[in-house]
Amino acid sequence: MQTLPGLVVTGASGRMGQMLIRTIAASDKARLAGCLERPGHAWVGRDVGECMGGGPLGVLVTDDPLEAFAQAQGVIDFTAPAATVAFAALAAQARAVHVIGTTGLEPEHIAAIEAAARHAVIVRAGNMSLGVNLLVRLTQKVAQALDADWDIEVVEAHHRMKVDAPSGTALMLGQAAAEGRGVTLEQAMVSGRDGITGARERGTIGFSAIRGGDVVGEHDVIFAADGERIVLRHLATDRTIFARGALKAALWGQGQKPGHYDMMDVLGL
């Protein structure tokens, strides 16, 4: 009998960490091989199921990433940029597929991830849901079909605890709009307007962020012209959509060649 791929979840106590643990524990395609938290965290050394307020899952939370990764075929990582860069090097060393959901990554973090992807499979996306990845494709197509008479604005809303803006998803959507229009996002991006900004510059792609309450994630791409507007919208109401996507990515990554992949590769979009 073949054993199921073993997956480690980093940031086990986080919003996404707990969602991922539940999703993997309920899956018949993978097994929970480990759970990671920071040294000194109250969960370290305890059964993760009991930490989450349920029955035991038979997996103790560890603070030793190398030991955990060495016994796994995949690592699912929704934490913070510095942690993700460190985990990328360790997962590559262990030849485990590294699925990265962490957002707020700066160019230097991405360069370090690219370096790790020379030796191992990394799947990274600012949003792992099927719906958003489809919306990314639609955004690219709509932007391609319209000229710069149509102003493009990306508006996103998230819960009060989110630490980065624009969201990873907003950046994916902005990137797709820029590609569709044949410009670079770096050239076109205008973020966080405030004060006397002057009139909107033709051809720019604007970003606005709202933070409050428990909003899981909402994204609009607005194409606004004289006399009409097109609004492409995705509303996330449950974090399981991200966890299911991440699990799919970890399974898809098994047996792939080393490289830096995204959810478009996984979903075949």
Ligand X SMILES: O=C(O)C1=N[C@H](C(=O)O)C[C@H](O)C1
Ligand Y SMILES: NC(=O)C1=CN([C@@H]2O[C@H](COP(=O)(O)OP(=O)(O)OC[C@H]3O[C@@H](n4cnc5c(N)ncnc54)[C@H](OP(=O)(O)O)[C@@H]3O)[C@@H](O)[C@H]2O)C=CC1
Contact residues toward ligand Y (CB under 6 A) are 10-11, 13-17, 37-38, 41, 78-80, 83, 101-104, 125-128, 168, 242
Q: Which helix (H) or strand (E) holds 232?
A: strand 228-236
Rounded to a whole number of angstroms, the minimum distance from the CB of residue 167 to ligand X is 3
Catalytic, out of 98, 162, 219, 260: 162
Q: Which residues are CB-neighbours of 139 under 8 A, at least 6 positions away? A: 173, 176, 177, 180, 221, 232
Specify the pairing of strand 97-100 against strand 228-236. unpaired
Asked whether position 103 contacts ligand X by CB under 6 A, the answer is yes
Other beta carbons less than 10 A from residue 41's beta carbon: 16
Asked whether position 133 contacts ligand X by CB under 6 A, the answer is no
- The one of ligand X, ligand Y, none whose footprint includes residue 158, by CB under 5 to 8 A per kind, is ligand X
Q: How far apart are the first and last CA of the chain?
A: 33
> Taking a C-beta distance cutoff of 8 angstroms, is the pair 98, 114 a contact?
no
Six token digits for residue 172: 């994916």
Specify the pairing of strand 121-124 against strand 259-261. parallel
SS3 233: strand
Tell me if 208 is assigned to a ligand binding site.
no
Cα angle, residue 194 at apex, residues 191 and 196 outer, rounded to 5°: 120
The correct pick among 62, 169, 175, 208 for binding ligand X (CB under 6 A) is 169
> Which range binds ligand X by CB under 6 A, 37-45, 81-89, 164-172, 190-198?
164-172
Catalytic, out of 158, 219, 234, 260: 158
Nearer Cβ to ligand X (57/125)? 125
Closest residue to ligand Y using C-beta atoms: 14
| Catalytic annotation present for 260 | no
Nearer Cβ to ligand X (126/253)? 126
Q: How far is CA 156 from the centre of its chain?
A: 15
Nearer Cβ to ligand X (49/217)? 217
SS3 17: helix
Rounded to a whole number of angstroms, the minimum distance from the CB of residue 61 to ligand Y is 11
> Taking a C-beta distance cutoff of 8 angstroms, is the pair 48, 21 a contact?
yes
| Catalytic annotation present for 141 | no
Closest residue to ligand X using C-beta atoms: 217
Annotated catalytic residues are: 158, 162
- Which segments are annotated as binding site for NADP(+)? 38
Where is the binding site, in residues? 11-16, 37-38, 101-103, 125-128, 159, 168-169
Which residues bind to ligand X, rule: CB under 6 A? 103, 126-127, 158, 162, 167-169, 217
